[in-house]
Amino acid sequence: MQYQNTEAFAREQDQQDPLARFRERFLFPIVADDSREGMRTAIYLCGNSLGLQPKATRNYLERELQKWGQYAVDGHFHAEEPWFTYHKLLREPLARLVGALPQEVVAMNNLTSNLHLMMVSFYRPAGQRYKILMEGGAFPSDQYAVESQVRFHGYTPQDAIIEVNPRAGEHTLRTEDILAAIDEHKESLALVLFSGIQYYTGQVFDMQAISSAAHKAGAFAGFDLAHAIGNVPMQLHEWEADFAVWCSYKYLNSGPGSTAGAFVHERHINNTDIPRFAGWWGHNEEERFKMEKGFKPIAGADGWMLSNSNILPLAAQRASLDMFEEAGIEQLRQKSMQLTGYLEWMLCNSIGCDKWGIEIITPSQPEARGCQLSLFVHKGGKAVFDKIDSAGVIGDWREPNVIRVAPAPLYNSFMDVYVFCRIFERALQEVVG
């Protein structure tokens, strides 16, 4: 695609966009616009933190509220789409997003709870194999979970956690450096745990290569897909990842703090001897109401469930997943690469990154990034961010000087990118001069 720095180009691309119809199915915030002295629909580029609300969400929730009012407790078994099995309605859509078999995925809990549950099963230190290898600068929640897990097993984080960091002067990790680190520590590794997409830089990691290297080293391979699910296509089953966890409130648009999910590879899901923390809802559902001792896990990822599903958040998640089913993750990925490519082109060729001291720390290769660009603003970073915020742009600020911008293909447009760049350039002129 030959990009152009014109409003006419952006409008033309939106008119030709086969996925443009989905934008009208979302609610956009109305914000103050200091530059125009009024209110306007936000330029929303923060789906990497919280996705927009689908308009259909209210209807999906109302349906379950009506069941609650009509059936009360009998809604678990006698309502249409009974609550007892409601979580199973999300299996196939989630499986398609992560490239899994339906029985390998489950919607449950929140991300960090699921990470702890997975580490109970897949971080089993013994003898000299007790170390965990992960990316340096992982999201704090992952860092804290890993720290607490190694301490629980009697190790110190300083000894048991190996972090792989970018080379001096670089912001992203090279795959060869990750694989070399795995090989270097192969005798002591119990688990390799990486993000699918690094939250700060937006880098997509080579999950297939990491999984293969971890297994060759004799370790398990797990992934945090918080920024990857709904953003990039994946093939977790074929890549033979042992487990993965994710949240659903970013690109899956299921609402703040909504129900998360987990993947467990087929080779593990029927192993009843694998260590796990058990709960009632993971017990054989054919015998669940016998209320007997002796945990018998359900075959499949459902066997890691603890409690009955939180129906309202699952209903909200379905409202979004139904749109993913209609759009298709491959088609969304194609649009995403065009949108993010346009954003990068506008920043580098129209605004001029070097002129303003802006460094794009996200990989320039389209296949090595999702829909996020992380802009390291060396001059007046926070002041620039505050300017674009006051002009009606909702983005994301990360210390020390990074503005994260994420044009989500399900609801963002080329015009969003064009208008953002005009506002961003004006802010740079006012702050940097």
Per-position pLDDT tens, the chain of length 433: 899 999 999 999 999 999 999 999 999 999 876 656 667 899 999 999 999 999 999 999 999 999 999 999 999 999 999 999 999 999 999 999 999 999 999 999 999 999 999 999 999 999 999 999 999 999 999 999 999 999 999 999 999 999 999 999 999 999 999 999 999 999 999 999 999 999 999 999 999 999 999 999 999 999 999 999 999 999 999 999 999 999 999 999 999 999 999 999 999 999 989 999 999 999 998 888 888 999 999 999 999 999 999 999 999 999 999 999 999 999 999 999 999 999 999 999 989 988 999 999 999 999 999 999 999 999 998 999 999 999 999 999 999 999 999 999 999 999 999 999 999 999 999 998 7
Phi-psi region of 270 (alpha: psi -120 to 50; beta: other; left: phi over 0): alpha
Let me know whether 192 and 106 are in one domain. yes
Task: State residue 336's pLDDT score.
Answer: 98
Let me know whether 145 and 200 are in one domain. yes
What DSSP designation does 351 have? I
The answer to whether residues 136 and 194 touch, using CB atoms and an 8 Å cutoff, is no
Task: State residue 433's pLDDT score.
Answer: 79
Task: State residue 181's pLDDT score.
Answer: 98
Let me know whether 230 and 104 are in one domain. yes
Q: Which of 294, 325, 356 is the last residue of a domain?
A: 325
Task: Quote the crossing angle between the two packed helices 414-431 and 7-16, to the nearest 10°.
Answer: 150
Let me know whether 320 and 300 are in one domain. yes
Give CA–CA dist 66/16, Å, rounded. 40
The count of structural domains within the chain is: 2
Let me know whether 358 and 269 are in one domain. no
Task: State residue 432's pLDDT score.
Answer: 87
Domain membership of residue 49 (yes or no) is no
DSSP string covering 148-160: HHHHHTT--HHHH
Domain membership of residue 405 (yes or no) is yes
Give CA–CA dist 350/324, Å, rounded. 33
Let me know whether 186 and 216 are in one domain. yes
Let me know whether 390 and 379 are in one domain. yes
Give CA–CA dist 87/179, Å, rounded. 37
Let me know whether 339 and 386 are in one domain. yes
Domain residues for the domain of 409 are: 7-41+328-431
Let me know whether 96 and 236 are in one domain. yes
